[in-house]
Structure 1
Amino acid sequence: MEAILPVESNKQRTLMPMMIIGSLFFVFGFVTWLNGSLIPFLKIACELNHMEAYLVTMAFYIAYTVMALPMAYVLKRTGYKNGMMLGLLVMAIGSLIFIPAANERMYSIFLFGLFMLGTGLTILQTAANPYIVLLGPQESAAVRISIMGLLNKGAGVVAPIIFTAFIFAGMEQFDESQLALLSEAQRTLQLNELAQRLVNPYIIMAATLFVLAIFIKLSPLPSMNTEAMQTSDNDTESTSIMAFPQLILGVITLFLYVGVEVIAGDTIGLFGQELGVTNFGELTSYTMVFMVLAYLVGMFTIPHFIKQETALMLSAVLGLVLTMLIIITPTDSALIWSNLIFWREVGYLPDVVLYVAMLGFANALVWPAIWPMALNGLGKHIETGSALLIMGISGGALLPLIYGAITEMSGNSQGAYLIMLPCYAFILFYALKGHKIRRWSSNDA
């Protein structure tokens, strides 16, 4: 029988659980941030327009909305540990679905495989995030989540580079102008060959996920005491989950945050490709590098120098500034790359693309700040509250799709980034006031 780990545990007792959960966050990042490279790949292989290409994010992230509450029920039945194992097994099945999808070059099967991957991640995220929050003191929860985020985004740096090296090699023959010169039969043959490149990587991914599921099953992960976050000024035994403004506003904030995070990570490849960037397949890694840098800053500054509320406020302000720069900067300007990053011999990178990547710095500390602020005081409702927050991840499904629709209708990828301004404005509101509200009545806020 597993021991219950008290919330005020010492560093030695939390080290092993953090290492185990950290491996899961690495998996989250690797699978999630493959999408940034997968989008331009499938756009070519399955001959898609912008909006169709961004259905990749829709299929992947909509699973969080559809499956979050059912998975919260599953977690109550199985416990965190068995739930994590189940999530890994579901992800392995999703990876295997890519094999028939590639063999038939059917976009609908790819989307189903992505939905299954998202479903598995829903189980893992619903379990792992509150687990990390409960693993130590409330005031340092953002630091623990930042460490997990460092692993998550570190995987996000690695995944596009690996994908580009193995999948995007020799892509010149699949350029649209080259394919247009071929007959229909030759074009189909070429694109089928391209789709086949996905088979071996996803077989390896499935095998890795199966092995990791066995490892989690045999690991010494302790159970969590979810009553540890209950506070005396809220009668959580009788209160409806909808009566917690800090949670509901947190869900909206997280919805908007994940939307802008995915836009920054998953649209940069196609945006860079349109502007003539040759290494467009690995541009998602640039966004992830900035996120990693921000997580490192967060680990050393929170809560010793700044509070997690302050980190959230600064993140929102930086997001607003960078979004304005993306919108107004000429696409032919490359002053930053030419003058400051001249040592990288990868050719031309427009400033506007670099600003999209720098959004990673603005976005990194939003997730670790929202979770402890939104879950504070929920008591026995913490699993349901966690599930609602996980449902907020569906922002990654809808906002990039809206971005794609605006791009398709206007023909202006740069201007479509305008949709991020109201998102960062709401995040700023939550940092300044929203997380403090404990009653819906303004008199009791």
Structure 2
Amino acid sequence: MAITPATQGDTRPSDTSFDYRPALALLASLFFMWGFITVINNTLLPHLRSVFELNYTQTTLIESVWFIAYGVMGMPSAFLIERTGYKKAIIIGLCAMAAGALGMVPAAQIPSYGVTLFALFVIASGITLLQVAANPYVAVIGPAESSESRLTLVQAFNSFGTFLAPYFGGYLILSRTIGGTSLDGTRLTEAERLADAQATQLPYLLVAVVLLVIAVVLWRSNLPALGSATSRVAKEERKKLSLWKHRNLVLGVPAIFIYLIAEIGVANLFINFAILPEIAGITPAQAANYLVLLWGGMMVGRFAGSFIMRRFPADKTLAAFALFALVVMVGAATLEGPVAMWCLILVGLGHSIMFPAIFAMGIKGLGPLTEEGSGLLITAIAGGALVVVQGWLADLYGLQNSFWLTVACEVYIIYYALWGSRPTAAYGGNSTAEPA
């Protein structure tokens, strides 16, 4: 992903004693928070399904709106970063997330399905900006040969946030509501639905406060700047450059898109799947505790994957993890009882390294096109919006049968790992920053 200084400029800081580890430690808090707030939605979906009496299609539409924000804001975020720099863009993203979280307070007070969708869109827009800025920053700030391992390691803190979020959401939302402590099919009165809706106010208020605190800390920090190789080159020179010559990016964009369909479909429908009488027959609050294990598997897998990819090729590692995900998803789609639920839990381990590995391989060799490539890859996170398709399949053919869509997604990831991720038209150079 680097370029030769003689031709396109150097991304390395002028201080040869540069140590990128403090910056990574600070950025880890961002990865944690956007993972945390994203998975709050997984506990929010069954809650809102009860409050607004939604079917599966309407329920997954909530998550679709969240991921539509990635499609709308991905490339504008890349252009904003080019104008403001990484640090200011990250602070703007955190403030947008805080504003959206505060918007959930009146949405719950009314309560309003429409206002809820808008508030979630604002939060997701802020996360999109953070994703476009932080992912390539982590990938290029250190040695190019360890970019996949480094990004996977920092993404493990994202998974730590997703691991804790179900506890937070289960305790502060589901366990404090009538719908969250009742078996599937229980009908709520109007007063009970209103009380349940207002249970989301405190959690999102706390999230907004934490986001603003992190924004202040970052504002007062000294994040090292990247050099000209990750900035837009002059107009005349850029005419000779094309994103579409890079196979690893061109095929990486649909890989991210398809992976998000798989990850979000599993995570968002897990509680609804676990509470089915023929699967585990438990309450939503109890199912939230098992959801913790799914995200915990992703966290463990990312820490392990970061270690593994320092010793084995990233493409082969990704293929092995995707094959494991394929096997357990077939089990979730065909088996019955708690074993089917456990298959769905285990897919978190298989999914763990997919996003960071695909992202790092997708921008490898882009040089001065890194920001645009990053914007395209983050835009592809909009694939999570197609979880509504899985909701539609669940309404038509049953929730368990809808997981065959996830099985198909795993097949493409294996294809990308083994062939599509091989870089073409890569720029020269081996490093974009001085090693620590």
Give the TM-score normalised by structure 1.
Answer: 0.86
Q: 1:248: which partner in 2?
A: 250
Runs of 4+, deviation exceeding 3 Å: 7-12, 170-180
2:388 maps to which of 401, 418, 423: 401
Cα distance in 2 for residues equivalent to 1:138 and 1:147: 15
| 2:394 corresponds to 1:387 | no
Q: 2:282: which partner in 1?
A: 277
Letter in 2 for 1:45: V
What are the superposed Cα offsets for residues 403-424 of structure 1, whole Å, 9 maximum, x if unpaired?
11001112x1111100122211
Pick 1 or 2: higher relative contact order, CA cutoff 8 A, min separation 6: 2
* Offset at residue 160 of structure 1 (A): 0.8
Question: Any idea what SS the aligned residue of 2:424 has?
Answer: coil
Question: Any idea what SS the aligned residue of 2:142 has?
Answer: coil
* Offset at residue 290 of structure 1 (A): 0.8
* Offset at residue 55 of structure 1 (A): 1.4
* Offset at residue 11 of structure 1 (A): 9.4
| 2:116 corresponds to 1:110 | yes
* Offset at residue 367 of structure 1 (A): 1.4
1:367 maps to which of 351, 355, 366: 355
- Which runs of structure 2 are paired with 1:31-42 in the superposition (5 Å)? 31-42=37-48
Question: Any idea what SS the aligned residue of 1:220 has?
Answer: coil
Cα distance in 1 for residues equivalent to 2:94 and 2:415: 36
Residues 122 and 173 of structure 1: is their aligned pair in 2 closer, same or farther, counting only changes over 3 Å? Answer: closer
- Which runs of structure 2 are paired with 1:43-442 in the superposition (5 Å)? 43-172=49-178, 175=182, 180=187, 187-225=189-227, 227=229, 238-274=240-276, 275=279, 276-278=281-283, 279-304=286-311, 306-329=312-335, 331-332=336-337, 350-398=338-386, 400-410=387-397, 412-436=398-422, 438=424
Could you say what the CA RMSD is over the residues aligned between the two structures, in angstroms? 2.3
Q: 2:433: which partner in 1?
A: none
Cα distance in 2 for residues equivalent to 1:68 and 1:259: 17
Percent of residue pairs identical: 29
Q: 1:443: which partner in 2?
A: none
Q: Unaligned 5+ residue runs, structure 1?
A: 333-349, 440-445
Cα distance in 1 for residues equivalent to 2:85 and 2:255: 27
Residues 438 and 176 of structure 1: is their aligned pair in 2 closer, same or farther, counting only changes over 3 Å? Answer: same
Q: 2:431: which partner in 1?
A: none
Question: Would you say the 8 A contact 1:229–1:378 is kept in 2?
Answer: no
Letter in 2 for 1:379: G
Question: Would you say the 8 A contact 1:71–1:126 is kept in 2?
Answer: yes
Residues 226 and 60 of structure 1: is their aligned pair in 2 closer, same or farther, counting only changes over 3 Å? Answer: farther
Q: Unaligned 5+ residue runs, structure 2?
A: 1-9, 426-436
What are the superposed Cα offsets for residues 26-79 of structure 1, whole Å, 9 maximum, x if unpaired?
011111111111111111111111111111210111100001111111111110
Residues 319 and 179 of structure 1: is their aligned pair in 2 closer, same or farther, counting only changes over 3 Å? Answer: closer
Q: 1:339: which partner in 2?
A: none
* Offset at residue 296 of structure 1 (A): 2.0
For these two proteins, the number of residue pairs brought into alignment is 406
Question: Would you say the 8 A contact 2:266–2:344 is kept in 1?
Answer: yes
Question: Would you say the 8 A contact 2:363–2:374 is kept in 1?
Answer: yes
